[in-house]
Amino acid sequence: MTQLALVIDLNVCVGCQACVTSCKEWNTSGSAGPMVDQNPYGADPTGTFFNRVQTFEVGEFPNTETVHFPKSCLHCEDPPCVPVCPTGASYKRKEDGIVLVNYDKCIGCKYCSWACPYGARELDEQQQVMKKCTLCVDRIYDMTMAADDRKPSCVKACPTSARLFGDIHDPESVVSVAIRESGGYPLMPEWGTHPANHYLPRRKTRIKIHEDELERADNPLKVDRQLPRPATSEPTLDDVTTW
Amino acid sequence: MHPAFSVIFLTTLIGAAQGLFLALFTAQSYAAFKLLPEPDAHAFYGQGSLLAVLLLAAGLVASFFHLGHPERAWRAAAMWRTSWLSREVIVLPAFMGVVFLYGLAHWLDWHPLLMTLPGGLPVDPSAILGVAGTVLAFALFLCTAMIYACLKFLSEWHSPLTVINYVLLGGASGFSLAAAFAAVTAPELVSFLAAWAAIITLLGMVSRIASLYRNARLKPKSTLQTAIGIKHPKIVQKTQGFMGGSFNTREFFHGQPVAVLRGVKWFFIIAVFPLPLLLLLSGMQGGAGVLATAFVVQYAGLLAERWFFFAQANHPQNLYYQSIA
């Protein structure tokens, strides 16, 4: 079985919003589109997005860290939004695990958005149907594109390669390796939704240097406690030994 | 959550209709066992059922205002295997149909003897329809309440008390309405129905206050730590990623100050329980005006109760939408 997913590396995300605009650009002109904006130049603009980048501050000044946090549908392996849909418009594809909405069946009752703890679904105010990330399903299987382009458009846009895409059920895929070896974790594990998308934590590279690595513990000068170091006028070891 | 008036009217109107039908059939059952005098079937059962059907229809109309695509509403019957909303969409019209036929059987005096129960109790179509309607009324209460109670991360709703409250509050308003209706059409039943309305109102008060008590002591399972997966006691959102509003900032926040929430809570606690109780008891002897006031006050209180029910539910997605910058 296949479960396509994104793995987002919070260690390298710089919060540039390139994935947000790239997602909107592709999907508003793709088969899911348009993703309508209302009042875009007015005082209170609003619109439909599949992907948002949020910013959190962790810690207290001066020991703070800024964490940029991209958020889109996590394509849960046990999606709570699917069984509640009264029409069957919301469904999870068996072949690749992508959670999708059939816009021709959706009645706009918003019940699926209530059933998603992550707030990943947004009602399109103009079309009055529920919209969400499709993992660029109209892109990743498009054989007219070069193999390298058959990835979600947010992944293609990310300048720091913070977004990885692949099958988390294949143990050798780039995403599985990243989750396994770089501490990938799911969001809100307390609800048992088993999100397919994972996040990689902030990581710092530190070397632990022990004091005896800076100064030789077996320094012969220390063995017989002749410290402090003998003055330069004193005879050196070479002067007094024959080796 | 943002309380939607379509859903507030849907749940309160059909709740009152279900309670009214249960009151009608309770009276018929008592009368069949000769525990109550037989009322004028045309006026009480016939017109009473019509009133219930009208309330159900009004609720149904209100529910359409909740939909983005009302013309596709028929599709909502498809997923009854998994979705309580779908089950409600099936049970509501079925219940409407049965109530209509029940009223029709009484209106046309259609009482052919189908069988006789041991003890010599005659069974006619209205009795069969009444039993079917009773089952469907409770099924509808269950479906409506489970739409909310099945959402496990909305912990204010995820409790058996939600189902009990929907049954008792719908039943209370329906029996109050039946008492007021009987004051006009079947005065011999008024004290019986008013007494039941008072009892169900009291039970409803116990269960609703129990749920308020429970909800005031809930500890949210999700926190900012689990929402973004970072282990640190101090995390604040600096920006939700956009400066205007979005569906997420409109649908899941009631947008009212705490004082309004508290005011609505005390209004419904008084208007749904003690006030109608007093009016029901004082109207026991057949005061149609007093009983009608009891129903109107209780129904107004229930509108506030339902508003509060939605406003109090705190969706975990709100953790992601706390700050604009």
Nearest by CB to A88, from B69, B78, B147: name it. B78
The one-character DSSP state at A173 is: S
A125 contacts in B (CB within 8 Å)? 247
Look at B222 and A129 and tell me if their CB atoms are within 8 Å.
no
The per-residue pLDDT for B316 is: 96
Look at B246 and A122 and tell me if their CB atoms are within 8 Å.
yes
Which residue of A lies nearest to B237 if distances are taken between CA atoms? A56
B84 contacts in A (CB within 8 Å)? 84
Which residue of A lies nearest to B249 if distances are taken between CA atoms? A119
Secondary-structure breakdown of chain A: helix, strand, coil percentages, each rounded to the nearest 5: 20, 20, 60
Which residue's structure tokens are 């849960």?
A76
Q: Is the dihedral of CA B116, B136, B102, B110 positive or negative?
A: negative
Q: Which of B235, B234, B212 is closest to B313 using CA atoms?
A: B212
Q: How confident is the prediction along chain B (325 residues), in pLDDT tens digits per residue?
A: 999 999 999 999 999 999 999 999 999 999 998 899 988 888 899 999 999 999 999 999 999 999 999 999 999 999 999 999 999 999 999 999 999 999 999 999 888 888 888 877 888 999 999 999 999 999 999 999 999 999 999 999 999 999 999 999 999 999 999 999 999 999 999 999 999 999 999 999 999 999 999 999 999 999 999 999 999 999 999 999 998 889 999 999 999 999 999 999 999 999 999 999 999 999 988 789 999 999 999 999 999 999 999 999 999 999 999 988 7
Name the maximum alpha-carbon separation found in chain B.
77
Nearest by CB to B85, from A86, A187, A191: name it. A86
Q: Which of A13, A87, A102, A190 to mutate to test the interface with B (most CBs of B within 10 A)?
A: A87
B154 contacts in A (CB within 8 Å)? 114
Nearest by CB to B316, from A88, A129, A188: name it. A188
Look at A55 and B317 and tell me if their CB atoms are within 8 Å.
no
The per-residue pLDDT for A205 is: 87
The per-residue pLDDT for A225 is: 61
pTM score, whole prediction = 0.91
N-terminal to C-terminal alpha carbon distance within chain A:
70
CA angle A180-A184-A188, nearest 5°? 135
Look at A187 and B227 and tell me if their CB atoms are within 8 Å.
yes
Q: Could you state, in order of their start, the residue ranges of all structural domains in chain B?
A: 5-319
The amino acid occupying position B194 is A
Nearest by CB to A46, from B153, B244, B252: name it. B244
B76 contacts in A (CB within 8 Å)? 86-87, 107, 109
Q: Which of B1, B153, B222, B254 to mutate to test the interface with A (most CBs of A within 10 A)?
A: B153
- In the stretch 53-82 of chain A, residues with CB closer than 8 A to chain B read 53-60, 66-67, 69, 71, 80, 82
Nearest by CB to A52, from B68, B232, B241: name it. B241
Q: How far is CA A16 from each of CA A176, A204, B253, rounded to the nearest angstrom? A: 26, 21, 28
**Residue A95: partners with Cβ closer than 8 Å, 6 or more residues away:** A2
A181 by Cβ neighbours in 10 Å (0-12 / 13-18 / 19+) ranks as exposed
Q: Which of A49, A54, A61 to mutate to test the interface with B (most CBs of B within 10 A)?
A: A54
Q: Does the domain at residues B5-319 carry the CATH identifier 1.20.1630?
A: yes
B236 contacts in A (CB within 8 Å)? 56-57
Contact (Cβ atoms closer than 8 angstroms) between residue B313 and residue B153: no
Structure tokens at A158: 């990310």
Q: How far is CA A208 from each of CA A28, A108, A201, A205, B123, rounded to the nearest angstrom? A: 50, 56, 21, 10, 88
N-terminal to C-terminal alpha carbon distance within chain B:
23
Give every residue of chain A whose pLDDT is below 70, as ranges: 32, 216-217, 219-230, 243
CA B224, CA B320: separation in Å to the nearest integer? 8
On whether any CB of chain B is under 8 Å from the CB of A203, the answer is no
Look at A86 and B75 and tell me if their CB atoms are within 8 Å.
yes
- How many CB atoms neighbour CB A140 within 10 A? 19
- In the stretch 151-170 of chain A, residues with CB closer than 8 A to chain B read none
The per-residue pLDDT for A240 is: 79
CA B163, CA B203: separation in Å to the nearest integer? 13
The per-residue pLDDT for A84 is: 96
On whether any CB of chain B is under 8 Å from the CB of A186, the answer is yes
Which residue's structure tokens are 């009055």?
A128
Look at A122 and B248 and tell me if their CB atoms are within 8 Å.
yes
Look at B244 and A123 and tell me if their CB atoms are within 8 Å.
no
Q: Which of B256, B246, B260 is closest to B317 using CA atoms?
A: B246
- How many CB atoms neighbour CB B266 within 10 A? 11
Nearest by CB to B234, from A59, A191, A202: name it. A59
Helix residue spans in B33-159 (DSSP H): 41, 48-64, 84-107, 125-149
Size of interface A-B (CB pairs under 8 A): 174
Q: How far is A163 from chain B (nearest CA, A)?
A: 16
Tell me whether 0.85 is exceeded by the ipTM: yes
Look at A119 and B320 and tell me if their CB atoms are within 8 Å.
yes
Structure tokens at B216: 């005031």
Structure tokens at A141: 């299987």
Q: Is the dihedral of CA A26, A15, A174, A187 positive or negative?
A: negative
Q: Which of B33, B48, B19 is closest to B123 using CA atoms?
A: B33
